[in-house]
């Protein structure tokens, strides 16, 4: 929770080593990690401003932090799944901080671990603030619901986790997405076309021509798919 304040308020320095022998920090020459964002910049920088600064440096790589605990190498230390994920993510962030335009943790990999996973996601976002200051975090959650339900989703993503942007489905329309779109300092990245093998089954169809056919397709296998109206 300590790092949350740093991410939000742009603290200039973090003491890494506590001075020994009762000495003051100045006397002991305490080691500090310098952050490049000052207080004013941290408070005012929006997702778009952070992203533009990275693009201006010709940095265009969005680094995925889709950390599947089953795929993390055994050499990564930690006595719990949470610690191993955070350690793994920190190594990635530290190695790519000078190359990334954004970091994108996929919510599902953290959600699957319950409370520990949420802690790991929170600490991962904190790690970006410390190890890659000024690089925005995109929460890849692909949210899609009515507006009233999206309000707590926006609160969770932006206010509690501290993400700078979120991915959403546009299927329910702009009104439903308004809790995200109304956050002027945050980004809303709308899912348009996916790259998965079966993505074209629905996405390659012209909805305004084949609306009824789309409904018929959904009805063909009612055991695995359901149509929702309202």
- 142 classed as catalytic: yes
C-alpha distances (whole Å) from 109 to each of 28, 114, 117, 206 are 42, 10, 8, 32
- In the block, residue with structure tokens 């305490």: 30
The DSSP-derived string for 30-72 is --EEEPSS-HHHHHH--HHHHHHHHHHTT--EEEE----GGGS
Catalytic annotation, pick one of 17, 142, 151, 227: 142
Q: Which residues of 33-67 are buried (b: 16+ CB within 10 A; e: fewer)?
A: eebebeeebbeebbbeebbebbeeeebeebbebeb
Residue 218, both tokens: 């959904």
Distance between CA atoms of residues 45 and 67, nearest Å: 27
The DSSP-derived string for 183-205 is: -TTSEEEE-----STTTHHHHTS
Quick one: tokens of 121?
């996601």
Catalytic positions, please?
142
């Amino acid at each position: 929770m300590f790092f949350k304040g740093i991410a939000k308020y742009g603290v200039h320095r973090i003491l890494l080593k506590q001075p020994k022998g009762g000495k003051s920090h100045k006397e002991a020459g305490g080691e500090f990690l310098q952050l490049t964002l000052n207080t004013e910049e941290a408070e005012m920088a929006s997702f778009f401003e952070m992203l533009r600064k990275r693009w201006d440096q010709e940095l265009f790589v969005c680094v995925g932090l889709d950390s599947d605990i089953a795929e993390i190498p055994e050499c990564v230390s930690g006595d719990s799944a949470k610690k191993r994920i955070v350690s793994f993510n920190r190594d990635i962030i530290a190695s790519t901080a000078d190359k990334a335009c954004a970091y994108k943790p996929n919510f599902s990999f953290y959600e699957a671990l319950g409370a520990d996973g949420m802690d790991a996601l929170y600490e991962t976002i904190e790690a970006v603030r410390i190890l890659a200051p000024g690089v925005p975090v995109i929460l890849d959650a692909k949210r899609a619901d009515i507006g009233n339900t999206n309000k707590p989703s926006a609160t969770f993503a932006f206010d509690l986790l501290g993400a700078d942007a979120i991915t959403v489905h546009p299927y329910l329309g702009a009104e439903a997405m308004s809790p995200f779109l109304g956050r002027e300092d945050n980004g809303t990245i709308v899912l348009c076309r996916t790259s998965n093998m079966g993505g074209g089954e629905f996405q390659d169809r012209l909805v305004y021509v084949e609306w009824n056919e789309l409904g018929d397709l959904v009805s063909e296998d009612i055991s695995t798919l359901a149509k929702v109206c309202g």
